[in-house]
Amino acid sequence: MRILHAADLHIDSPLGGLSAYEGAPVDEIRGATRRATEHLVDTAIAQEVDVVVVAGDVFDGDWRDYSTGLFWIGQLARLNDAGIPVVVITGNHDAASIVSQSLTLPPNTALLSNAHPEVLVIDDLDLAVVGQGYASRVVTDDLAAAYPPADPGLFTIGLLHTSLDGRPGHDAYAPTTVETLRSKGYKYWGLGHVHQREVIATDPWIVFPGNVQGRHSRETGPKGATLVTVESGQVVDVDAIPLDVVRFTTCEVDASDMRDRDEVVGTVAQRFAEIRVEAGSRLAVARVKLVGASPAHEELWRDPHGFEAEVRSVAQQADRVWAEKVTLATSRPGDRDRFRDDEAVTAISARITQLRGTPGLLAEYAGELDALRTKLAADARSGGHDAVDTLRIGTPEHLAECLDASRELIIALLADGAT
């Protein structure tokens, strides 16, 4: 038996307002979530899978109009024609209270209950799929806790849209623990909600497949579904299948050893060539950032717009690479070191080192960020907001980055003020 597990299709997500940028390949970006969803169905049919399971957030939100729903029904109908059953739950983005329209589903598709855990048995496959969707956007109960134990005679899959046991800066959606999931005796937990693919456990398998298409520049790398192969009632293979049509990538270039602008541009061009190869036939969207204390700093900053245009020009020549954003974060070589020995800088630096090494001290600051986060719109807090990486705010990693950046900023400001 083969199962194709996907989640977070986010059909018709506007993809991070990218289309607002000058020169953006608007049509390709706008259609990306639909094309990736078509690839999901293409894969199911080509691989002759036995069932497709979707763990929530099929839609990005309420349909703009019926075309969003009609598109999805069209894809389900292709699977229906191929004789492939589909089991779906809703998530926070497409909770029953959010999507106001509905259309009749094809006979192959089961949308599990939002009110209680529902067990769907597919007799031909000796398969049970257990799941519960979201009645409303915010679900703070541990839904999995109420899922029934596995029927020992069936291969049982649990479907759940969840933030699992949470992370700092991540609101709890249907929170639960690996132990709770394990206690049910299921063979595979098909999760959704976290957009980065992650295999949480292998006994039993607990998998976030990630979304099928990155939605903005921080959702980088391959995106797709997970193909699960079962033999004699046991999972024997779990493979990531890329489905994305637009591949987001970060392109950070350290210009420390580069003498001039030409050398920097040449290096960026090389990186674009590598990105081109990694992306295959997809459109590659690169967020370019130049860092380092570089001899080329003055020349780059003399005409930052000219440099940005040059990078975009190089991207165009790389064929199907689009430079979404170009950030200059270089500094003058030498200057900074002069200030590292400054008395005030030394004191601040020592405090930063102390904070970085003492998580307890950082917690105090994380608390202040919590207050900030509660002031953000609910949508932003859920991770639905595209412009701010709100999920990272207050994480230890984020705080450590802020500390490092503040040290560099102080030194840069001193250096700039001295010239």
162 binds Mn ion (CB under 5 A): no
Least Å distance, CB 69 to Mn ion, is 19
Q: What is the CA radius of gyration of the chain?
A: 24
Least Å distance, CB 189 to Mn ion, is 16
Decide whether 193 or 215 has the Cβ nearer to Mn ion.
Answer: 193
Query: Residue 159: in which H helix or E strand, if any?
Result: strand 155-161
Are the CB atoms for 110 and 86 separated by under 8 Å? yes
**Strands, sheet with 155-161, edge to edge from the N-terminal-most edge strand:** 118-122, 127-131, 155-161, 188-192, 205-208, 198-202
Q: Using CB under 5 A, which of the segments 90-98, 110-118, 196-204, 278-286 binds Mn ion?
A: 90-98
Decide whether 7 or 279 has the Cβ nearer to Mn ion.
Answer: 7
Least Å distance, CB 216 to Mn ion, is 15
92 binds Mn ion (CB under 5 A): yes
Positive or negative, the CA dihedral 65, 71, 74, 79 is negative
What residue is closest to Mn ion based on CB?
Answer: 193
Report the alpha-carbon distance of residue 83 to residue 90 in Å, rounded.
23
x/- map, 301-340, Mn ion, by CB under 5 A: ----------------------------------------
Least Å distance, CB 56 to Mn ion, is 6
Decide whether 108 or 390 has the Cβ nearer to Mn ion.
Answer: 390
Least Å distance, CB 164 to Mn ion, is 12
How many residues contact Mn ion, by CB under 5 A? 4
Among 61, 91, 175, 224, binds Mn ion (CB under 5 A): 91
Are the CB atoms for 345 and 307 separated by under 8 Å? no
Decide whether 55 or 286 has the Cβ nearer to Mn ion.
Answer: 55
Are the CB atoms for 333 and 297 separated by under 8 Å? yes
Q: Using CB under 5 A, which of the segments 89-97, 117-125, 224-232, 297-305 binds Mn ion?
A: 89-97
What is the CA 273 to chain-centroid distance, rounded? 24
Q: Which residues, numbered 235-264, are part of the site for Mn ion (CB under 5 A)?
A: none
How big is the chain, counted in residues?
Answer: 419
Helix, strand, coil % in the chain, rounded to nearest 5: 40, 25, 40
Report the alpha-carbon distance of residue 272 to residue 312 in Å, rounded.
11
DSSP state of 153: T
Q: Using CB under 5 A, which of the segments 69-77, 190-198, 288-296, 366-374 binds Mn ion?
A: 190-198
Least Å distance, CB 267 to Mn ion, is 38
The three-state secondary structure class of 186 is coil
156 binds Mn ion (CB under 5 A): no
Decide whether 342 or 379 has the Cβ nearer to Mn ion.
Answer: 379
390 binds Mn ion (CB under 5 A): no
Decide whether 57 or 324 has the Cβ nearer to Mn ion.
Answer: 57
Least Å distance, CB 193 to Mn ion, is 4
57 binds Mn ion (CB under 5 A): yes
Decide whether 96 or 273 has the Cβ nearer to Mn ion.
Answer: 96
Region for 278 from its dihedrals, namely left if φ exceeds 0, alpha if ψ lies in -120 to 50, beta otherwise: alpha
60 binds Mn ion (CB under 5 A): no
219 binds Mn ion (CB under 5 A): no
Least Å distance, CB 383 to Mn ion, is 7
- As given in the structure block, the two tokens for residue 125 are 């496959």
Least Å distance, CB 184 to Mn ion, is 22
Among 39, 193, 223, 320, binds Mn ion (CB under 5 A): 193
Decide whether 134 or 205 has the Cβ nearer to Mn ion.
Answer: 134
Residue 42 neighbours by CB distance under 10 Å: 13
Least Å distance, CB 57 to Mn ion, is 4
211 binds Mn ion (CB under 5 A): no
What is the CA 393 to chain-centroid distance, rounded? 16
209 binds Mn ion (CB under 5 A): no
Query: Residue 130: in which H helix or E strand, if any?
Result: strand 127-131
Least Å distance, CB 181 to Mn ion, is 18
DSSP 36-97: HHHHHHHHHHHTT-SEEEEES-SBSSS-SSHHHHHHHHHHHHHHHHTT--EEEE--STT-TT
Region for 12 from its dihedrals, namely left if φ exceeds 0, alpha if ψ lies in -120 to 50, beta otherwise: left
Decide whether 89 or 127 has the Cβ nearer to Mn ion.
Answer: 89
Write out the residues near Mn ion by the rule CB under 5 A.
57, 91-92, 193
